[in-house]
Structure 1
Amino acid sequence: MDNAQLTRKQKEFFDFIIDYKKEHDVWPTYREIAEAFNYKSPNSVTQNIQALLKKGYLIKTDDDEYDIHPNYEENLGLKKNSGIPVRGLIAAGYLQEAVEADLGQITLETLFPNMDDMFALRVSGMSMKDAGIYDGDFVLLMDNDVKEGDIGAVLYNGETSLKRIFYDKNGLRLEPANEEYDDIIIKPDVFEEVRIIGKYIGHVNRSGIHKALPRKLAS
Structure 2
Amino acid sequence: MDHAQLTRKQKEFFDYIVSYKNEHDVWPTYREIADEFNYKSPNSVTQNIQALLKKGYLIRGEDEEYDIHPSHEELLGAKRDTGIPVRGLIAAGYLQEAVEADLGRITLETLFPRLDDMFALRVSGMSMKDAGIYDGDFVLLMDSDVKDGDIGAVLYNGETSLKRIYHDKNGLRLEPANEEYDAIVVEPDVFEEVRIIGKYIGHVNRSGIHRAVTRKAS
Q: Smaller-chain TM-score range?
A: 0.7 to 0.9
Q: Which residue of 1 aligns with 2:133?
A: 133
Distance 1:60 1:122 in 2: 18
Residues 95-114 of structure 1 deviation map (CA, whole Å, 9 limit, x = unaligned):
11111111111111211122
- How far residue 81 of structure 1 moved from its aligned partner, in angstroms, is 2.9
Q: Is the 8 A contact 1:154 1:161 kept in 2?
A: yes
Distance 1:197 1:12 in 2: 38
Q: Which residue of 2 aligns with 1:169?
A: 169
Q: Return the letter of the residue paired with 2:120.
A: A
Q: Return the letter of the residue paired with 1:130.
A: D
Q: Is the 8 A contact 1:3 1:55 kept in 2?
A: no
- How far residue 80 of structure 1 moved from its aligned partner, in angstroms, is 3.1
- How far residue 206 of structure 1 moved from its aligned partner, in angstroms, is 0.9
Q: Unaligned 5+ residue runs, structure 1? A: none
Q: 1:106 to 1:72 in 2, by over 3 A?
A: farther
- How far residue 26 of structure 1 moved from its aligned partner, in angstroms, is 2.9
- How far residue 15 of structure 1 moved from its aligned partner, in angstroms, is 0.5
> Which stretch shifts more, 169-178 or 21-30?
21-30
For the pair 1:181 / 2:173, whether they are aligned, the reply is no
- How far residue 180 of structure 1 moved from its aligned partner, in angstroms, is 2.9
Q: Return the letter of the residue paired with 1:91.
A: A
Q: Is the 8 A contact 1:82 1:107 kept in 2?
A: yes
Q: 1:95 to 1:72 in 2, by over 3 A?
A: farther
- How far residue 21 of structure 1 moved from its aligned partner, in angstroms, is 2.8
Q: Is the 8 A contact 2:164 2:176 kept in 1?
A: yes
Q: Which residue of 2 aligns with 1:31?
A: 31
Q: Which residue of 2 aligns with 1:110?
A: 110
Residues 122-162 of structure 1 deviation map (CA, whole Å, 9 limit, x = unaligned):
11222212211112211111122212111001111122211
Q: Is the 8 A contact 2:3 2:11 kept in 1?
A: no
Query: Residue 173 of structure 1: SS of its match in structure 2?
Result: strand
Distance 2:190 2:13 in 1: 44
How many residue pairs match? The answer is 217
- How far residue 163 of structure 1 moved from its aligned partner, in angstroms, is 0.8
For the pair 1:14 / 2:14, whether they are aligned, the reply is yes
Q: Is the 8 A contact 1:3 1:57 kept in 2?
A: no
Q: 1:42 to 1:14 in 2, by over 3 A?
A: same
CA RMSD of aligned residues (A): 2.7
Q: Under a length normalisation based on structure 1, what TM-score does the superposition of the two structures give? A: 0.84
- How far residue 39 of structure 1 moved from its aligned partner, in angstroms, is 4.3
Q: Under a length normalisation based on structure 2, what TM-score does the superposition of the two structures give? A: 0.85
